[in-house]
Amino acid sequence: MELTERKLRILQAIIDEYMGTAEPVGSRAISKKNNLGLSSATIRNEMADLEEMGFLIQPHTSAGRVPSDVAYRYYVNSMMKRYKIGVKTIVQLQNAMEQKISQLDSIIKKASHITSALTDYTAFITTPDVTGNYIKKCEIVSLSGGCSLLIIVTQAGIVKNKILTLSLDDNSAAILGEIINKTLCGLCANDITFDKIQSMQSEISERLNLSPKALINILDFIYDAVEELDDTDIYIENAKSILKYNDIEKAQKMFTFLEDKKNLKNLIKGDSNGKVNIKIGSENQVEELKDCSLVSVNYSLNNKTAGQLGVIGPKRMNYAKVVASLDCISEHIDKILYQLYIGESEE
Amino acid sequence: MELTERKLRILQAIIDEYMGTAEPVGSRAISKKNNLGLSSATIRNEMADLEEMGFLIQPHTSAGRVPSDVAYRYYVNSMMKRYKIGVKTIVQLQNAMEQKISQLDSIIKKASHITSALTDYTAFITTPDVTGNYIKKCEIVSLSGGCSLLIIVTQAGIVKNKILTLSLDDNSAAILGEIINKTLCGLCANDITFDKIQSMQSEISERLNLSPKALINILDFIYDAVEELDDTDIYIENAKSILKYNDIEKAQKMFTFLEDKKNLKNLIKGDSNGKVNIKIGSENQVEELKDCSLVSVNYSLNNKTAGQLGVIGPKRMNYAKVVASLDCISEHIDKILYQLYIGESEE
DNA sequence: GTTAGCACTCAATAGACGTGAGTGCTAAAA
DNA sequence: TTTTAGCACTCACGTCTATTGAGTGCTAAC
């Protein structure tokens, strides 16, 4: 059967209506509200066809029809109109984002907050993947307990710090810091080879009088810190909005799913090719999300995808608006990250 | 009317029963299950008395009775038996806590995780308030964009870092760092007076050729970072458990309440006197929590209350177990913080 | 090809009703 | 005086049974 122009218009009308009301939509409603100039009976016939073609689902005989995943997919691919974000919203967005650019964390948190505020759905955002980011400075600070603190700063301003339960006086700390700096500065996490660690080890044992155990301890520890450099985190905001479109049991399952951030990370892992990714219902391979849609966009740093942000909402979400909002926000993030990490002047 | 021994025993039985079933408990159930040697009629009479005295509430005429806030309060103050935590649990706890002691954040997160796991309720924990903690080291690192990074480390190992949109070459960064270090090291946030900032200002303008605007910028910025040193944060874990004992609307309100962490902070602010704090139902001044109880304990550093952890759960929670669990966890935190920040050797 | 008309379906709502867990009161027993 | 058996009463809850109404599919006429 062919998907005629008229069928399309009817499908569009049904999707529009359903997005607004979340109730199965009947033929009469369509024939009344939209001036297609067709009676409910005709629309009924077309709807029967659309159902046969897999675009509509009837919850039960005497109910209206509901768009299927296939319908949403078709809508998203071919029918969706561009949504224009209001100037007022953009200005608000700019103001909100530009307030807190002194810390990467704040930017990311702010962005997820804005995403959820703009769409009213659960938002998520990953911290930028800064693989390839080299170490700019290391520092060892001796603390008041029997502890020392290792700080590693990358050229992009990522700071990792770890407490080491090893007592060092200020002088040894300075020496250790010097050695670490000499070895690691200018390297990315990937560049740090066994050789380099080994040469560092020998230099440390030459210049500082440490027990073998303490030495191993230090190296282990540096290794851990370096490993962590490339870790990305994921923030989830406004999870409570799940309660709005799910019953309590499904909501509970969703919360459990979102609790382990690895789940969501895995889910969006492969989505960094295109700019916008939309996964509708069972297109998400995960049972818990089969009644939801997941829309994500990439944001980038240095012309390379650095992370993703998106929303999780009901399948009947306003995709056009969500996509436009995400686009807009990701652009802002791009801009801010550029300012922050690349700047006008190349070093 | 007097609260006789027998009335007490009946009250205890009702509370016990209600904690288990969450259903209004009737006279017959009490007379059967507990071997008080009394008929349901007698118990009925006593229950009527207890209701008149404010300890019991009848949801409707033909229902059993439910303990009132007053009853819970009485129970908690005078009737509650000591709960003994199993050795197995303690061992698990020790193992879990001792794994991640290299970062303050991890300890705090772990602790809240364990709290919610042990009690199965929503857990919260504040980061330690380290007021009085002096600055050990400051550092300025110039980054690849037109930015610099300020890092402040306290003697307790708290690290604050902020990105400053000001381009500095490595040399100027070093000088600026030196000046800041000279001025701020050894001071707590409170000690940093206007005088000190001013003297720092004049030294910076002497030794570095900066525009007045950039200078103001730097000082503002240092000021901000120092302000942040004393900030405490609060982690909330397992908020989803709220769904278990609340209807969807109340849950939504609770989520909204918990979303703004200031709310919870305010709520527990005054509770740092005693070791354990229990607030039952409307004893929490907040509308959203009038069906919940909030149990918190303090943990300390250096013999001074440093923070709080606790749970939010239904009024019919197992207070004895919750209190015992919190006690146990806070003790562990105390121990770990001691190890981390005080150590065996005084510096 | 379109539409008016009609019989049909079925979820949702409301009312009727029985059930049972619980009560309070009273009078007899201890 | 205290306790208890007994009984009438209450009321949420589940079941059953219309009733309603939104929606359908089919058919015959336009």
Cβ atoms of residues B10 and B43 within 8 Å: yes
Write the single-letter amino acid at B216. I
Distance CA B248, CA B345 (A): 53
Nearest by CB to residue A163, choosing from B147, B164, B340, is B340
- Identify the residue whose tokens are 């190296």: A219
For residue B62, give the nucleotide whose C1' atom is nearest its CA. C22
What is the C-alpha to C-alpha distance for residues A167 and A144, in angstroms, rounded to an integer? 9
In this structure, are residues A316 and A71 in contact, taking their beta carbons and an 8 Å threshold?
A: no
Residues of B with CB below 8 A from A136's CB?
141, 143-144
Using the beta-carbon criterion (under 8 Å), do A147 and B101 form an inter-chain contact? no
Cβ contact B162–A103 (<8 Å): yes
CA–C1' nearest nucleotide, residue B37: D3
8 Å CB contact of B144 and A343: yes
Q: Under an 8 A CB cutoff, do A342 and B157 touch?
A: no
Any strand D atom closer than 7 Å to A51 CB: yes
- CA geometry: angle B93, B96, B98, nearest 5 deg: 100
- pLDDT tens, position by position, B287-317: 999 999 999 999 998 788 999 999 999 999 9
**Of all protein residues, which has its CA closest to the C1' atom of D3?**
B42
Q: Cα distance from A81 to chain B (closest Cα, Å)? A: 33
With beta carbons less than 8 A apart as the criterion, state whether A324 and A311 touch: no
Q: Which of residues 217-276 of A touch strand D (CB under 7 A)?
A: none
Q: Which nucleotide is nearest to A63 (CA to C1')?
A: D23
CB atoms near residue B330 (< 10 Å)? 24
Judge: A157–B163 Cβ closer than 8 Å, yes or no: yes
The H or E element spanning position B149 is strand B148-154
Contact B102 A221 (CB under 8 A): yes
Residues of chain B with pLDDT under 70: 100-102, 342-347
The CA distance from A208 to the nearest CA of chain B, in Å, is 20
Is strand D in 7 Å reach of the CB of A29? Answer: yes
Q: Which residue in A145, A161, A167 is closest to B340 by CB distance?
A: A145
Q: Which of A 29-68 have CB under 7 A of nucleic chain C?
A: 37-39, 41-42, 45, 59-63
Tell me how close the Cα of B225 comes to any Cα of chain A, in angstroms. Answer: 10
pLDDT of the residue at A98:
77
CB A121 within 8 A of CB A312: yes
**Interior angle at CA A172, CA A167 and CA A175, nearest 5:** 140
Nearest of B311, B278, B291, B292 to residue B119 by alpha carbon: B311
Interface test with A, best of B147, B153, B242, B245 (most A CBs within 10 A): B147
**Rg (chain A; Cα; Å):** 27
Residue A344 confidence (pLDDT): 47
Which chain A residue has its CA at the smallest distance from B151's CA?
A159
Residues 264-293 of chain B within 7 A of strand C, judged by CB, are none
- What average pLDDT values come out for chain A (347 residues) when binned by 10 residues? 91 95 94 88 95 95 95 97 95 84 82 96 93 86 81 86 84 92 90 87 90 86 85 94 91 95 91 86 94 96 90 97 96 87 51
Q: Which amino acid is at A237?
A: E
Phi, psi of A267 (to 5 degrees): -65, -40
Beta carbon of B22 within 7 Å of strand D? no
Q: In chain D, which nucleotides are within 7 Å of a protein Cβ?
A: 3-6, 9-12, 21-27
What is the reported pLDDT for A79? 94
The pLDDT value recorded for residue A76 is 97
- The reply to whether B37 Cβ lies less than 7 angstroms from strand C is no
Helix/strand/coil (H, E, C) string of A90-127?
HHHHHHHHHCCCCCHHHHHHHHHHHHHHHHCCEEEEEC
C1' (C25) to CA (B35) span, angstroms: 25
A82: which DSSP letter? P
Nearest residue in chain B measured CA to CA from A241? B252
Chain C bases closer than 7 A to any CB of the protein? 2-5, 8-11, 20-26
